[in-house]
Structure 1
Amino acid sequence: MSLAGMKCLVTGAGGLLGQRIVSQLLDEGENLAEVRVLDRTFSSETLQHFEDLKGSTLLTVIKGDIRDTSCLQKAVQGISLVIHTACVIDVLGLVEKQVLWDINVGGTQRLLETCLLHDVKYFIYTSSLEVVGPNHRGDPVSNGDEDSVYQVTPGFPYAETKREAEKCVLELDGLPLKDGSSFVTCALRSMYIFGEGSPFLRKHVNEAILNNKVFFRYSRKEALVNPVYVGNVAWAHIQLAKAVRDPEKVKQIKGRFYYISDDSPHISYSDLNHELGKELGFGVERKLAMPLTMLYWYALLLEIMSFLLQPFVRYVPLINRHLLTLMNTPFTFSYKKAQKDFGYTPRYSWEESKQRTRRWIAEVASLKTTYLKSKNI
């Protein structure tokens, strides 16, 4: 099924994934009537890239906040498909809980209400693996799927907001629209996303440069996860967008969530950094700085300090128990149901994903090295 003639809105279009989704929409030769992009900020490079790709497709840029109802009304007017990637990702607790809730949940609810008001038919939500876990106990999952039963434990604000937002999206599936059709919603739970432009990967590379080109080890080698290349996550959104227009496929996929991974190897987070950077001369620390149990106690101590200092100063530790659990729990999921239900297959192989990411890492490392030399560091 083609997207030709459709008008599509992508929220969070200035972010890592949103940019790639827009690029694929414009580059697919689908002849969309319009691609509308919404975010609080766009870099000049991103906007120029979009312009270079758009061809005959109308590209409309809207700078605005997902919490602004008037902005959302302007953004969805006349739109038939919304791909909602906008959110605040916070694994350290740097963002106030209320702000996370207002953007990730409140913003999603406002967008849904506005879509229903303006008869938007299709809504695809970018969810997260953290919706399901890992839980506080660090219970492992190996090749899980959408039917896997897992004991979710609440407590970490970012995971809670993504879980609640996904619930809001899927619960509204099937609501009647003014034209007699029904609202179609789906959610994609992505694994950890790597690739060009990743802020997390950029941070790790810059840290490694300062550590004699050796990546710090944050996860045990046996804590296997299945990272996914950003281009493949974007491609899953495009494939799902096509499928929701298919009268037969939509019956199977509406109101459902899907795990999105690719054929990247099962590997720990730290060893992924090494795999992506080793041909550029990067190494990785052989083991954790201290035994994992001691790291948990250390993180707990920092969290207690943060709590005690709250009346006087806001102190956010660079490590917490949730992050340690996240990085050190074996947690892998299959994309086979997405393949079966709406035809998702990775667009980029592991080798191509690695090569593309490696070229970008080389640029980041070069810029960081040049900067340090200019400062005589």
Structure 2
Amino acid sequence: MTGWSCLVTGGGGFLGQRIVHLLVEEKELQEIRVLDKVFRPKVREEFSKLQNKTKLTVLEGDILDEQCLKRACQGISVVIHTASIINVTDITYSEAIINVNVKGTKLLLEACVQASVPIFIHTSSIEVAGPNSYKEIIQNGHEEQHHENTWNFPYPYSKKLAEKAVLAANGWTLKNGGTLYTCALRPMYIYGEGSPFLFDIMNKALKNNGILEDTGKLSIANPVYVGNVAWAHILTLRALRDPKKAPSVQGQFYYISDDTPHQSYDNLNYTLSREWGLSLDSRMSLPLSLKYWIAFLLEIVSFLLSPIYKYQPPFNRHLVTLSNSVFTFTYKKAQRDLGYEPLFSWEEAKQKTTEWIGSLVEQHKETLKTKTQ
């Protein structure tokens, strides 16, 4: 199969950029199209440097714009769909989250059928599987266990519906008579340099005398480095293009983790930032059951106020559960079917992320210096 092309939606984002950087190394790839709503100037500059290896076309457009999607998919061999609104705190803008994550995915699948795109890889989420209760313990979970999120909060609910739509589309007949083959990847919590979540956490800590806020002392998670998630997408693409491997991958979903130690979210934040003098909050936390019921009351207040005012609670039951659960998964199925092995070790991932956090600390110092002059 020679002379193929790939569309990456959400390609200007944290994960999308990494996928594009790895794609340029792929053999016989003629064109990469990168679709996103907005591209920051720095991202455009990065992509222009990659033009020497493969034709790279930057497309600004909305995932809900059918005409835009039709144009983007024309002549494409593979779609990697990373575009989504990632929001685990906001319950007031549920319509936007459902629209982009669910309707946008369905529109893209339809555009693939019309443009006869044979391969569709979907970036799903660990939240499709749960956790549903902080009392439930799942360690080294796997695909055969059929874990399913039961929350109706916008983000996990939207990712569950989107993934179902993608896997249900496996085997659809394309306009040219061919067949659409789909696959979904469920990464754990993704960290790494450029992470919007880590950026917010570190900025809040720097404004709070270097004290990291409590994001989940009781959790045990297995975070995954962004470079390894991007690598899993490349291996999925290769598997789906390989006639021997493809039948075992089509219509499947895979948990994507790596060799990052299983730890609490608080411990991860501290490990990545302690070199720069940041420290954990030593104050006593509220009992978990009390925090859960406070979250429930805040959600009720938000609902009652919704006709006249959009009140976004600082946390909700889903976030409390997510941040305080023992919830880890193995990547053995991806290893077996995709040949997945982490591209970056924990030590490499930690070093790269720590260096980036160091640059944020330096920026903060410069800002403070400018203000005092």
TM normalised by structure 2 equals: 0.96
How many residue pairs match? The answer is: 373
- Output the CA distance in 2 between the equivalents of 1:293 and 1:180: 55
| Maintained 8 Å contact 1:133/1:152 | yes
Aligned to 2:21: 23
Question: Which of 215, 219, 224 is residue 216 of structure 2 equivalent to?
Answer: 219
The answer to whether residue 267 in structure 2 is matched with residue 268 in structure 1 is: no
Aligned to 2:29: 32
> 2:142 is matched by which residue type in structure 1?
D
> 2:209 is matched by which residue type in structure 1?
N
Aligned to 2:183: 186
The answer to whether residue 352 in structure 2 is matched with residue 368 in structure 1 is: no
Q: CA deviation at 1:200?
A: 0.7
- Output the CA distance in 2 between the equivalents of 1:245 and 1:169: 18
CA 1:376–1:297: 2 relative to 1, 3 Å: farther
> 2:4 is matched by which residue type in structure 1?
M
The answer to whether residue 339 in structure 2 is matched with residue 343 in structure 1 is: yes
Q: CA deviation at 1:54?
A: 2.9
- Output the CA distance in 2 between the equivalents of 1:163 and 1:151: 8
Which aligned pairs between 1:232-271 and structure 2 lie closer than 5 A? Answer: 232-271=228-267
- 1:33 is paired with a residue whose SS is strand
- 2:108 is paired with a residue whose SS is helix
Q: CA deviation at 1:11?
A: 0.1
> 1:22 is matched by which residue type in structure 2?
V
Aligned to 1:12: 10
How far does the alpha carbon of each residue in 1:202-227 deviate from its partner, in whole angstroms, 9 at most, with x for none? 1110111122212112212x421000
Q: CA deviation at 1:17?
A: 0.4
> 1:319 is matched by which residue type in structure 2?
F
How far does the alpha carbon of each residue in 1:37-61 deviate from its partner, in whole angstroms, 9 at most, with x for none? 0000001111111121232411111
Aligned to 1:92: 89
Q: Which moved more, 1:54-63 or 1:175-184?
A: 175-184
Aligned to 2:75: 78
| Maintained 8 Å contact 2:116/2:178 | no
CA 1:294–1:172: 2 relative to 1, 3 Å: same
Q: Which moved more, 1:314-323 or 1:260-269?
A: 314-323
Residue identity (%)? 49
Question: Which of 110, 123, 142 is residue 107 of structure 2 equivalent to?
Answer: 110
Aligned to 1:143: 140
TM normalised by structure 1 equals: 0.95
- 1:141 is paired with a residue whose SS is strand
- Output the CA distance in 2 between the equivalents of 1:241 and 1:187: 11
| Maintained 8 Å contact 1:244/1:254 | yes
How far does the alpha carbon of each residue in 1:125-164 deviate from its partner, in whole angstroms, 9 at most, with x for none? 0000010100146422100010114363232111111001
- 1:38 is paired with a residue whose SS is strand
Q: CA deviation at 1:119?
A: 0.5
| Maintained 8 Å contact 1:136/1:325 | yes
- Output the CA distance in 1 between the equivalents of 2:227 and 2:88: 22
- Output the CA distance in 2 between the equivalents of 1:95 and 1:89: 14
- Unaligned runs of at least 5 residues, structure 2: none
- Output the CA distance in 2 between the equivalents of 1:23 and 1:148: 34
